C-alpha cells in the first residue's frame, strides 16, 4: 500500500522533478475541513482510506445546510465558527471557510482530476485520485503563472481546460459549478486575452481549448502585451496582486506585474484615494494591502 511520502518522478527537460502521490496541501485541507465542518452532535470517526489508486476522506454527518456537491467550490458555511477561527489562526486553514478552492487549484495544477465529493445518508466522502492525467500540465501551469501572475480562479480554469481537448461554454461552466455562462468571464477573460486559452464558435456552443503546441512548448506572448494593458484592467490586476501578496511595496508589485513602475505608482495612488487599498509607512518604505 502506498504512503503519503511516495512520489512520481517526471521528466523536466534535462532534469527530473518529483511530484507527490498525494499532495500535503491537499491532504491537510481535506482533513482540516473534515474536523472543522463535521457535526459534533453526531457520533462517528473521520477515516482516511488509502488505496493504491486513490485517497478517500470520510466524514460522519452531512454537508452544512446550503452546501451541496454541486456548489462546494463557491459556497462557504461555518458550521463550527470558533473551531474554524482557531485553525485559521494556527495557519492550518487558507481562511475561515471552505478550502475546496485550494484543493481544486493544487490538483488541477498537477494535471490531476478535480476532487470527487459524494454526500451519502450518514456521511460525506471526498475522493482524490493518485493518477496524473497529463504530466505536461504541471510545467505549463507553473510557467504560465510565472509569466502572467494568474489568479486562483484562472489556475483552476486553465487546469481544467489543459486536461481536456476542448470544453463547450456550458460544460466549462458546469465543471466550475457556475450557474450561468456569463458568470464564467472572470475565470477565463484574461486567459483569452493572453491566448493561453482559445475559443471557437458562439454563445453556448463556444468551445474553449488550450493549443496542444502551447501546452508542450510554453511559447507565451511576451510581456509587451501587459505594457499596453488598459487602465481599468491594470487597476484590477494590482488589486488582485496585492490581495495575494499583502504588505507589498511598489517595487514588489512592479517585479511581479512587469508593467512600468510609474504606471503602477499612479494606479496604486488612485486606489488608495478611492479606499480600495490601504497604505502603511512613508516614502520608499510604504507597503500596501487590501482594506
The domains of the chain are located at 7-129, 136-220, 225-289
Return the pLDDT at 216. 83
User: In this predicted structure, what is the pLDDT of residue 81?
Assistant: 81
- Tell me the CATH number of domain 7-129, given options 3.40.50.20, 2.40.37.10, 3.30.565.60, 3.30.43.10: 3.30.565.60
Domains 7-129 and 136-220 share a fold: no
CATH classification (class only), 225-289:
mainly alpha
CATH number of this structure's domain 136-220: 1.10.10.10
| pLDDT recorded at residue 7 | 57
Structure confidence at residue 126 (pLDDT): 96
Query: Average pLDDT per run of 10 along the chain, which is 291 residues long?
Result: 53 58 90 88 91 94 86 81 83 68 92 93 93 89 87 94 93 92 91 90 86 82 56 83 89 79 88 92 89 91
pLDDT for position 3: 52
Residue 94 has a pLDDT of 66
What confidence score (pLDDT) does residue 12 get? Answer: 54
Give the Cα-Cα-Cα angle 160, 161, 165 (nearest 5 degrees): 125
Amino acid at each position: 500500500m502506498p504512503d503519503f511520502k511516495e512520489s512520481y518522478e517526471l521528466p523536466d527537460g534535462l532534469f527530473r522533478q518529483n511530484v507527490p502521490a498525494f499532495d500535503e496541501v491537499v491532504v491537510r485541507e481535506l482533513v482540516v475541513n473534515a474536523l472543522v465542518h463535521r457535526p459534533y452532535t453526531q457520533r462517528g470517526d473521520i477515516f482516511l482510506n488509502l488505496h493504491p489508486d486513490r485517497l478517500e476522506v470520510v466524514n460522519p454527518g452531512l454537508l452544512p445546510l446550503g452546501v451541496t456537491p454541486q456548489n462546494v467550490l463557491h459556497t462557504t458555511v461555518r458550521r463550527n465558527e470558533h473551531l474554524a477561527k482557531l485553525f485559521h489562526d494556527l495557519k492550518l486553514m487558507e481562511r475561515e471557510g471552505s478550502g475546496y478552492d485550494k484543493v481544486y487549484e493544487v490538483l488541477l495544477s498537477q494535471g490531476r482530476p478535480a476532487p470527487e465529493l459524494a454526500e451519502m445518508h450518514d456521511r460525506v466522502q471526498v475522493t482524490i485520485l493518485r493518477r496524473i492525467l497529463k504530466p505536461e500540465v504541471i510545467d505549463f501551469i507553473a510557467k504560465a503563472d510565472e509569466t502572467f501572475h494568474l489568479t486562483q480562479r484562472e489556475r483552476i480554469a486553465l487546469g481544467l481546460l489543459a486536461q481536456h481537448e476542448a470544453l463547450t461554454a456550458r460544460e466549462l461552466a458546469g465543471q466550475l459549478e457556475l450557474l450561468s455562462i456569463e458568470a464564467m468571464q472572470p475565470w477565463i477573460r484574461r486567459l483569452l486575452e493572453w491566448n493561453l486559452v482559445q475559443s471557437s464558435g458562439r454563445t453556448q456552443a463556444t468551445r474553449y481549448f488550450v493549443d496542444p503546441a502551447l501546452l508542450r512548448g510554453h511559447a507565451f506572448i511576451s510581456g509587451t502585451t501587459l505594457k499596453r494593458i488598459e487602465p481599468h484592467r491594470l487597476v484590477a490586476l494590482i488589486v488582485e496582486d496585492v490581495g495575494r501578496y499583502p504588505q507589498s511595496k511598489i517595487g514588489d508589485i512592479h517585479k511581479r506585474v512587469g508593467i512600468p513602475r510609474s504606471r503602477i505608482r499612479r494606479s496604486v495612488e488612485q486606489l488608495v484615494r478611492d479606499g480600495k487599498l490601504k497604505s502603511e509607512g512613508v516614502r520608499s518604505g510604504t507597503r500596501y494591502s487590501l482594506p
